[in-house]
């Protein structure tokens, strides 16, 4: 039956064609014949597969560019749809992939998670900045700490800018890395690292403070640092720096300490927590001032050139020859004065 006609109708209705061809021009469909060749019987399925394979070979030789979709061809067996099916499948794969990627992105990189922490007004930020320098007196009742991140973040960036200014004026030469990288690393490292450490200690001694509150508190505590450094990077008086360090640094530290005290019970935990915070906060200010200030003074000392330094020592060790050497090198006389 199927060997006679070589039409390429290879789906379930292929039998239709054979019937009609055999009927030699009759338009009447022979129902009993149709039942036999409905395509659902085992032999017909086998015939269909054979026909499909033969057709495949022909088309595979003919269209060399379409050999990647022969699997589709086997599956459905229609040459025209083969190309379109491949395209559709690729399209669907792309859509599925895109859907998954956007779901993952929305889950993890959603900045809306941080949106409530940035919900502030300028007047609120201003009042919190001023409050960060005023220690509260009542430590028996837990003090309210604002959980916002805008103010602390802006203060950290301001500190970075001030530090950059300080590094530039002191002529720091960073050998491995950049000036900017060091400044950002120092400030962010301090803010995030010390916050985490104090939060960890607070967790150990069971103090009532959350990580967000600690970040916020320490961030606002950097306001004092910004003020002090802004002044002392430009006016180089040691006495001024020490006074400001004690006064302004002390005030902002006292504020943070008071808030922590109000949220901790027990003498030893209070001592531990607040002592650590005082130590870290005040020494950070010292470090920021002196690590770049010292270089400036060191530079000034050796600015006359490295070849004069040994001569200085010679002058000190052998005072008898001082007059002769200073006559020859008036620069040294200026230095020793």
Partner 1 sequence: MASAEEASRPFAGFSDVSIPEDIPVEGDISVPVTPSSRDDELSTLDEPVKETVLRDLRAVGKKFVHVLYPKRSSVLLRDWDLWGPLLLCVTLALLLQGGAADSNEQGGPQFAEVFVVVWFGSIVITLNSKLLGGTLSFFQSLCVLGYCIMPLTVAMAVCRVVLFTTSGTVGFAVRLLVVTASFGWSTFASTAFLADSQPANRKALVVYPVFLFYFVIGWMILTFSP
How many chain residues are in contact with partner 1, going by CB under 8 A? 55
- Span 238-277, contacts to partner 1 by CB under 8 A: none
For the CB of residue 80, give the shortest distance to partner 1 in the complex, in Å: 4
Binding pattern for the stretch 40-59 against partner 1, x by CB under 8 A and - elsewhere: ---------------x----
CA distances 142 to 138, 139, 260, Å, are: 9, 7, 8
Residue 42 near residue 67, CB atoms below 8 Å: no
Counting contacts by CB under 8 A, is residue 215 touching partner 1? no
Counting contacts by CB under 8 A, is residue 13 touching partner 1? yes
Residue 47 near residue 37, CB atoms below 8 Å: no
Counting contacts by CB under 8 A, is residue 326 touching partner 1? no
Nearest to 166 by CA among 267, 289, 75, 255: 289
- Assign 6 to helix, strand or coil: coil
Counting contacts by CB under 8 A, is residue 68 touching partner 1? no
For the CB of residue 250, give the shortest distance to partner 1 in the complex, in Å: 27
Counting contacts by CB under 8 A, is residue 153 touching partner 1? yes
- Residue 298: other Cβ atoms inside 10 A: 12
Nearer to partner 1, 157 or 203 (CB): 157
Counting contacts by CB under 8 A, is residue 118 touching partner 1? yes
Distance CA 250, CA 191 (A): 18
Nearer to partner 1, 7 or 41 (CB): 7
Q: Which residue shows structure tokens 């927590």?
A: 273
Give every CB contact of residue 250 below 8 A, 6+ residues apart in sequence: 282
Nearest to 76 by CA among 65, 64, 88: 88
Distance CA 178, CA 186 (A): 12
Among 54, 67, 91, 301, the residue binding partner 1 under the rule CB under 8 A is: 91
Nearer to partner 1, 16 or 197 (CB): 16
Distance CA 288, CA 225 (A): 9
- Span 94-113, contacts to partner 1 by CB under 8 A: 111
Binding pattern for the stretch 161-180 against partner 1, x by CB under 8 A and - elsewhere: x--xx--xx-x-xxx-xxxx
Among 64, 65, 107, 114, the residue binding partner 1 under the rule CB under 8 A is: 114
- Residue 158: other Cβ atoms inside 10 A: 17
For the CB of residue 330, give the shortest distance to partner 1 in the complex, in Å: 24
- How many angstroms separate the first and last alpha carbons of the chain? 122
Among 33, 158, 291, 326, the residue binding partner 1 under the rule CB under 8 A is: 158
Stretch that binds partner 1, among 73-81, 98-106, 227-235, 327-335 (CB under 8 A): 73-81
Counting contacts by CB under 8 A, is residue 79 touching partner 1? yes
Nearer to partner 1, 84 or 283 (CB): 84
CA angle 114/151/207 to nearest 5° reads 75
Among 28, 32, 122, 323, the residue binding partner 1 under the rule CB under 8 A is: 122
Residue 197: burial class (beta carbons within 10 Å; 0-12, 13-18, 19+): middle
Residues 231, 274, 154, 141, CA torsion sign: negative
Binding site for partner 1 (CB under 8 A): 4-11, 13-14, 16-17, 20-21, 24-25, 27, 55, 78-81, 83-84, 87-88, 91, 111, 114-115, 117-118, 120-122, 125, 150, 153-154, 157-158, 161, 164-165, 168-169, 171, 173-175, 177-181
């Amino acid at each position: 039956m199927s060997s006679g006609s070589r039409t390429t109708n290879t789906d379930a209705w292929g039998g239709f064609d054979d019937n009609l061809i055999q009927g030699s021009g009759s338009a009447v469909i022979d129902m009993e014949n149709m039942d036999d060749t409905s395509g659902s019987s085992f032999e017909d399925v086998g015939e269909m597969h054979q026909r499909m394979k033969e057709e495949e070979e022909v088309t595979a030789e003919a269209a060399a560019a379409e050999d990647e979709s022969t699997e589709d061809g086997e599956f459905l067996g229609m040459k025209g749809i083969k190309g379109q099916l491949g395209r559709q499948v690729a399209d669907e794969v792309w859509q599925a992939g895109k859907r998954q990627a956007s779901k993952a992105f929305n889950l993890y990189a959603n900045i809306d998670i941080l949106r409530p922490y940035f919900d502030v007004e300028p007047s609120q930020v201003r009042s919190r900045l001023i409050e960060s320098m005023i220690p509260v007196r009542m430590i028996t009742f837990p003090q309210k700490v604002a959980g916002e991140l805008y103010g602390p973040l802006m203060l950290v960036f301001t500190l970075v800018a001030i530090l950059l200014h300080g590094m530039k004026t002191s002529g720091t030469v960073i050998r491995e890395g950049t000036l900017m990288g060091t400044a950002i690393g120092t400030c962010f490292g301090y803010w995030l690292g010390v916050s985490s450490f104090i939060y960890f200690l607070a967790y150990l001694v069971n103090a009532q403070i959350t990580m967000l509150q600690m970040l916020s508190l320490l961030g606002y505590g950097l306001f004092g640092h910004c003020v002090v450094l802004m002044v002392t990077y430009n006016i180089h008086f040691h006495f001024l720096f020490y006074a400001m360090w004690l006064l302004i640094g002390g005030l902002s530290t006292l504020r943070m300490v008071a808030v922590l005290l109000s949220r901790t019970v027990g003498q030893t935990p209070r001592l531990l927590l607040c002592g650590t915070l005082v130590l870290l906060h005040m020494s950070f200010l010292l470090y920021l001032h002196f690590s770049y200030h010292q270089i400036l003074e060191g530079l000034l000392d050796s600015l006359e050139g490295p070849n004069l330094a040994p001569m200085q020592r010679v002058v000190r060790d052998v005072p008898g020859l001082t007059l002769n050497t200073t006559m020859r090198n008036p620069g040294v006389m200026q230095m020793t004065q």
